[in-house]
Amino acid sequence: MSDVRDEQRGRRRGGGAEARRERRRGGGQQSLRYITRKVPLYEILNEEGLALIEANADTVLEEIGIEFRDDAEALALWKAAGADVSGARVRFPRGLCRELIKTAPPVFTQAARNPERSVQIGGDATVFAPVYGPPFIRNLDEGRRYATIEDFRNFVKLAYVAPAIHHSGGTVCEPVDLPVNKRHLDMVYAHIRYSDKPFMGSVTHPERAADSVAMARLVFGDDFVDSNCVLINLINANSPMVFDETMLGALKVYARAGQATIVTPFILAGAMSPVTVAGTLTQVLAEVLAGAAFTQLVRTGAPVVFGCFASSISMQSGAPTFGTPEPSLVSFGAAQLARRLGLPFRTGGSLCGSKIADAQAAYESANTLNATVLAGTNFVLHAAGWLEGGLAAGYEKFVMDCDQIAMQQRVCEGVDLSENGQAMDAIREVGPGSHYLGCAHTQANFETAFYRSTIADNNSFEQWQAEGEKRADERANALWKAWLADYEAPALDEGVDEALQAFIAKKKESMPDAFA
């Protein structure tokens, strides 16, 4: 398998002028390693503010509590740990959750089946993953329609090809053409077969989570899975202050297997949390404390990520709004709270409420993404493809977002202060009154000196006009089609592929189709 993989990498790295031009156009993709930030964090809360929110969250946990619904095992575990359990309501002695969380790793690695694609979660690392969960897709050719398994495969392939996407993600769109109780098998298989980047498992039922772990074992081997994180998964709190049976069941499966969970309150402020930033941060922290601590009751040392998905709503219509100032402030504050807890942090992405890849989508996504990166987010879900408040995965939006996150990757590299970066030889060579276009330093660095957008048109008006007066989304339409046309699948061991397909076939045969 390694020989085949090496051969494929060699083809993708091909040399020569044409290969260099293709790389500048966005083809012939070379994956970028996950970001290791070399720029400062942006922090909005001082010590007094952080301590206030932490104290308020502890009060919520102690006096109000969190409900763990329809899960007797969870309630028994909390009771044994010293919590006050009354029905489904769990109230926590001050400091209990924080003490339990101390056993969770502050940094961990999620292994990919291609070790070169493995990613660090936590510390100074930032990992970009695609959009998650939309039941619809949108593109310029077809408009908006329900997503299919073919769309799912397409987005996995696009995420594999995109240089600045470090992670294959999870439910990149919901393939509604497949039975609800079986589609997770095809989805996990698509991540394994069409990409060699790390991926997420299913959380829609504990049995589907178990299937995801079983498939990962076929790929990585039992011993490796037992001692390494190969899956990361999204566990949402049912805000305000509830964890339901489905999420708890999936969490237990992954935590027991030593796999990572992202405990994320899903917040639409004003509906599912208070309208204020401080109030929302208090509730988010309380919910994460309870959920993250529970992972440690299930298995001490299980990886867990502090998640925060917080949006505002229109107080006129009740619709979610994105790219607004208040959610950015929540992200900044939540990132600080996560670092104080010693947990990796997840938030943000390229979020927007727009139905199409237009100016609204661009502004809102840029506002969200900038705050996400400046906050020091470790795992960024929804980094590319999000449209319509998360209801649609946009093909054009996907590659437009990929262009932006590649720019963010360059920003996070910081300032090069090496001898080449200082450029003193260039300054000496050019001297007063001349220009740098022909100097040796410029000639040596021109290909990599500035980020080259795969989407933007910076030609003259006349050239733009001669080339068809194309808008950004029209250029993006051509680009995602080119990426799919040029896609080459990474190698997968034939024996592993056969075992996966046999597992899927057996599971599908064991139950009738269900579409609800």
DSSP 341-368: HT--EEE--S----SSSSHHHHHHHHHH
- DSSP letter at 201? -
Residues in the chain, how many?
A: 516
Q: How confident is the model at residue 47 (pLDDT cuts 50, 70, 90)?
A: very high
Predicted pLDDT of residue 127:
98
Please give the full DSSP string across 290-331, using - where no structure is assigned.
HHHHHHHHHSTT--EEEEEEEEEE-TTT--EE-S-HHHHHHH
Between strands 242-243 and 66-68, the pairing is: parallel
pLDDT at 253 over 50: yes
**Percent of the chain scored above 90 by pLDDT?**
92
Determine the average pLDDT of the residues in 336-352: 97
pLDDT at 365 over 50: yes
The Cα-based distances of 74 to 87, 204, 256, 293, 454 in angstroms read: 12, 18, 13, 11, 49
Residue 507 identity (one-letter amino acid): K
Predicted pLDDT of residue 317:
87
Q: How confident is the model at residue 81 (pLDDT cuts 50, 70, 90)?
A: very high
Q: What is the mean pLDDT of the chain?
A: 94
pLDDT at 31 over 90: no
Q: Check if the beta carbon of residue 205 is closer than 8 Å to that of residue 246.
A: yes
Q: Measure the CA angle with vertex 487, ends 483 and 491; round to 5°.
A: 150
Determine the average pLDDT of the residues in 259-273: 95
Predicted pLDDT of residue 142:
98
Joined tokens for residue 224: 């490796």
β-partners of residue 73 are none
How far apart are the C-alpha atoms of 195 and 114, rounded to whole Å? Answer: 9
Higher-pLDDT residue of 6 and 110 is: 110
Joined tokens for residue 341: 């807890």
β-partners of residue 189 are none
Q: Check if the beta carbon of residue 282 is closer than 8 Å to that of residue 56.
A: yes
The Cα-based distances of 207 to 277, 318, 453 in angstroms read: 37, 35, 43
Omega before residue 163 within 30° of 0, cis: no
User: 3-state SS of the chain: helix, strand, coil percent to 5?
Assistant: 45, 15, 40
Between strands 125-128 and 199-200, the pairing is: unpaired
**For 421-475, what is each residue's pLDDT tens digit?**
999 999 999 999 999 999 999 999 999 999 999 999 999 999 999 999 999 999 9
**Percent of the chain scored above 70 by pLDDT?**
94
Q: How confident is the model at residue 312 (pLDDT cuts 50, 70, 90)?
A: very high
Predicted pLDDT of residue 27:
39
**Considering just the CA atoms, what is the radius of gyration of the chain in Å?**
24
Determine the average pLDDT of the residues in 185-198: 98
Torsion sign over Cα 337, 385, 362, 162: positive
Q: How confident is the model at residue 46 (pLDDT cuts 50, 70, 90)?
A: very high
Residue 481 identity (one-letter amino acid): K
Q: Measure the CA angle with vertex 10, ends 8 and 15; round to 5°.
A: 135
Determine the average pLDDT of the residues in 117-142: 98
How far apart are the C-alpha atoms of 69 and 245, rounded to whole Å? Answer: 6
Please give the backbone phi and psi of residue 275, each rounded to the nearest 5 degrees, phi first.
-75, -10
Q: How confident is the model at residue 157 (pLDDT cuts 50, 70, 90)?
A: very high
Q: How confident is the model at residue 119 (pLDDT cuts 50, 70, 90)?
A: very high
Joined tokens for residue 420: 């080449």
Predicted pLDDT of residue 515:
86
Q: How confident is the model at residue 29 (pLDDT cuts 50, 70, 90)?
A: low
pLDDT at 8 over 90: no
